[in-house]
Each structure stands twice: as structure tokens, then as C-alpha cells.
Amino acid sequence: MLTVTQLAKACNVSRTTVLYYERVGLLMPATRSDNGYRWYGEKERRRLESIMSYRSFGLPVQEIEPLLDRSDEHKQEQTLRDQFTALEREIQTLRQQQKAILALLEQPILFDQNLLTKERWVNVLRSSGMTEEDMANWHKQFERMEPDAHQEFLESLQIDADEIAEIRAVARA
């Protein structure tokens, strides 16, 4: 049997992570001693390894429990397929961002804030192959990951405050 700390070390995670998974109901100790120590066996260690595998796939914690129970193999397969599709979309978005950056690097004069306008930026994105939907997704990702930087970027394109508010509202929807 392993303590929380021993289990955490064995699985290369923090003690806090193990306790968090207990708090959300993903990982329960095999037993508790009279002094309150949590004890974990081989079954719990394997369960923690499964949790860590699913997390490494990018699955949210709330989607992991049904996968661990394995009572519905169709649901497990569908969840993994959905996550695969979501990762594919993220990869596509990142590729489009790379293309936009490359297009800007080919025109370094545009980095001057006075020269890079909304119109020029949209032209750079279009010339890199992005559609309106791709651009909307780009804004959503930017807003989700770096909302303050997104605001600053839109301001640097000399877009008025009302339009910025509209762009960000759509990106958050």
C-alpha cells in the first residue's frame, strides 16, 4: 500500500494532483487508517495512470470518469474521437496562424503600428488562405488564450472601440 505522497511520486504527479482527483471523485483511496492516512493499492495506481493518460490526451477532468468505468465502450470511443477532432481543429488553427505570421514576416514594414491596419491584416490572412470562418476561429482562439493581448492587437490595427467590442463579443460567443 502507498501513501498519497508515495503514489504521487510513483506516478510522477504532485500530491496536490492526487488529492484533487480524490476531491472530484476520480480517485479514491483503497482505505483510510485510524489516523486519517489515505492508502492506495495497485488498483488505484493503475487508475491514476489511466487518469494521467486521458489528461495527456487533453481530455477535461469531467469527461474522464465515464471512460474509467468502461461500462459504455461506445461512449469511450466517441469521447476519444471527439477529442481527436478537437485537437485536429486546434492544429489547423495553429497552422493558419503560422501562415499569417509568415505572411507578415515577408512584409516586415507592416510591423510598424501605423502601417498595419485592419484592412492590411485581413489581406494578409486572406493571402495565407484563411476564410472568414478561419478568421473568426482565429479571433476565438486569441480571445480565449490571451484576451488582453487580443484587445491590444485590435487597437493596434486602428479599429474603433465599438467594432473591437463587437469582434470580442462574437469571439467569446
Express each pLDDT in 35-60 by its tens digit: 989 999 999 999 999 999 999 888 88
Query: Is 102:128 a contact under the CB 8 Å cutoff?
Result: yes
Q: What torsion do the CA atoms of 10, 15, 17, 19 make, to the nearest 10 degrees?
A: 110
Burial 51-72 (b: 16+ CB within 10 A, else e): beebeeeebeeeebeebeeeee
**Domain span including residue 13:** 4-69
Binned at pLDDT 50, 70 and 90, residue 107 comes out as low
What is the CATH number for 14? 1.10.1660.10
As a whole-number percent, the residues of the chain with pLDDT over 70 amount to 91
The domain tally of the chain equals: 2
* DSSP state string for 3-62: -HHHHHHHTT--HHHHHHHHHTTS---SEE-TT--EEB-HHHHHHHHHHHHHHHTT--GG
- Say what the pTM is: 0.54
40-44, 68-72, 112-116: which range is least confident on average?
Answer: 112-116
Confidence of residue 165 (pLDDT cuts 50, 70, 90): very high
Task: Summarize pLDDT for 18-28 with one digit per residue, the tens.
Answer: 999 999 999 99
Query: Could you tell me the pLDDT band of residue 158, with boundaries at 50, 70 and 90?
Result: confident
Q: Is residue 27 within 8 Å of residue 47, measured between CB atoms?
A: yes
One domain for residues 56 and 134: no
User: 116 and 149 share a domain?
Assistant: yes
22 part of a folded domain = yes
Q: Which pLDDT score, from 0 to 100, does residue 100 have?
A: 74
